[in-house]
Structure formats: structure tokens, C-alpha cells
Chain A
Amino acid sequence: GAGVSQSPRYKVAKRGQDVALRCDPISGHVSLFWYQQALGQGPEFLTYFQNEAQLDKSGLPSDRFFAERPEGSVSTLKIQRTQQEDSAVYLCASSLDPGDSPLHFGNGTRLTVT
């Protein structure tokens, strides 16, 4: 597609539910990133994929967070047993090459945990 596509745009979950957020990057982009953005804050790094390999997951806040990109294109961020502090916008971004290419962001998924 022309840009990074994320779904759903909005997700409301009850505390304790599991959620799955999808990201479809720009075709041919090697690198894929997930960020979490709380209100009034900058994006916080969660995890990074180069093709299907998850090279950095140091930003995942707990073992309830899991990300995958099994075929090197679409990625899913899964959050198990959601908590209120998980409420945020989850941004996916892709880039052509790792290390120095700018990131192109999707529109994000706004997660609200009630």
C-alpha cells in the first residue's frame, strides 16, 4: 500500500482482556518499529524488527507485551491481561533500511483500557 496501515484505529478493552494490534508496513520496508505514546509525551520505543527477526525488544514494558512479524511484512503487537496503564496510542512505523532511514508512521491505534 501507499503508507503504513494500522488497525483497529480505536480499541476499548476491559481490564484483563487480551488485545491484538495490527500493522501493515510500506511494501519493501525492511525495518518495522512499534512505539507507545502516552498523552502529552513523545513516542516511547517498544520493539524493532528487521524483516522477520525481532532484533530489539528492550522497550516492551512487561512480559504481557508480545510482538511478532512472522513473514517479514505484517506485524502484530499483542497485549495480554490489559491494565489501565496500557492505555495509550500505539504507533507502528517502517523504514527502508535500518540505522539511518527516516521512519514512516501509521495513524496509530488508540487503546483505552477501562
Chain B
Amino acid sequence: QKEVEQNSGPLSVPEGAIASLNCTYSDRGSQSFFWYRQYSGKSPELIMSIYSNGDKEDGRFTAQLNKASQYVSLLIRDSQPSDSATYLCAVYSGYSTLTFGKGTMLLVSP
């Protein structure tokens, strides 16, 4: 069974710090990777997509992918209280199925 693993948290960081969220996946053939943010009671919203090894930056967010280690991470710089949410890692396993991790709760304290 294809799996996506995340620490459930909560991960607590002070405002202005860097938050580091990690994800591992089991399917070596996976090619597409996504990070979603989900506020309580809301649906997931896409933050980042990454397809190639290395780093991809978008504003305060950086996604990092290492296919050899089957590892993908999300860094949030200058964390804000509004970043407090659950962050979901998602991996395309096979042709069509997007598999989600259970999510890591991030708490940013003022």
C-alpha cells in the first residue's frame, strides 16, 4: 500500500521563525508532490507543487524534494500567526491517485 507519512505535531514556532515540515513517501515511482494548507473547518488549498529534485521557492515558502531519499519538505520563513493550520503532504502514486498524509498541525505563536 502506498503511504505518505507526516508527523502529526503540533509543531510550535514563534512568530518570525522558520517552520520546517517533513514528509516521506513509500512509492519510488512517484513523480508529483504537493503541499496543501487546511484551516480548521475548511477544505485544503494548494500552496506548492514540486516535480524535480531540489528546492522550489515561492515567497516565504520553499519546497524541497529528494527522490532518492523519498523525502519532501516545506519550509515557511518568517512564520506568521496566520500560518497556523494543518499542512498536508500529497503524492501522486500511480496514474491517478493523489495520496495524502495525515497532516502536521503548525502553531505560530505571536
Contact = CB atoms under 8 A, between A and B. Distances in A.
A105 interface: yes
Interface in A25-80: 31, 33, 35, 40-45, 48, 50, 55-56, 58-59
A106 B102 contact: no
A43 B42 CA distance: 12
A42 B96 contact: no
A111 to B, nearest CB: 15
Interface stretch (B13-21, B44-52, B67-75): B44-52
Given A105-B43, A105-B45, A106-B43, A100 B32 contact: yes
Nearest to A98: B96
A7 interface: no
A55 B96 CA distance: 8
Given A42-B103, A99-B32, A105 B97 contact: no
B99 to A, nearest CB: 6
Given A100-B32, A102-B49, A107-B43, A43 B88 contact: yes
B25 interface: no
B97 A48 contact: yes
Nearest to B89: A42
Contacts of A44: 100
Given A43-B44, A48-B96, A105-B43, A100 B101 contact: no
Contacts of A21: none
Interface of B: 4, 6, 31-32, 34, 42-46, 49, 51, 88, 90, 92, 95-103
25 contacts: A35-B100, A41-B103, A42-B6, A42-B100, A42-B103, A43-B44, A43-B88, A45-B97, A48-B97, A50-B96, A55-B95, A55-B96, A56-B96, A58-B97, A91-B43, A91-B44, A99-B32, A99-B95, A100-B31, A100-B92, A102-B46, A103-B44, A105-B43, A105-B45, A106-B43
